[in-house]
Structure 1
Amino acid sequence: MLIVAGAFGGASGAIPSYIKCGEMSRSVFRVPLGGFDNEGGSAGATEPRPKLTFPRTRS
């Protein structure tokens, strides 16, 4: 009975993941390894981060 319950739990997470992968036009097998490929990368990896400045407060 625990095996059946575990299978239902796994399927309830796998089905939405499969749908999202189709919407992103990515393979289901490439999504977990997305941080290790050199195809697209994220925009933050190639652009420098802006320097944050805060206004001085009066004391």
Structure 2
Amino acid sequence: MKAKKNAAQNVGFKEKQPSSRKSTKKKPQKPTESDLRNLMGINRPTYKRGRGGAFRQK
């Protein structure tokens, strides 16, 4: 009787097998100084209002 109950519960499900590969933990990457400068927008073009109210690149 117990065997029939267990068989009915496991229909369509596979048992998980332990993976043969070792799991490697990924190290968090530190952003470089140039990446940080790019994110902050240091190397972007700067604009200033010129005569007539138009924006011009400085």
TM-score by length of 2: 0.23
Larger helix proportion of the pair: 1
Q: Which has the larger radius of gyration?
A: 2
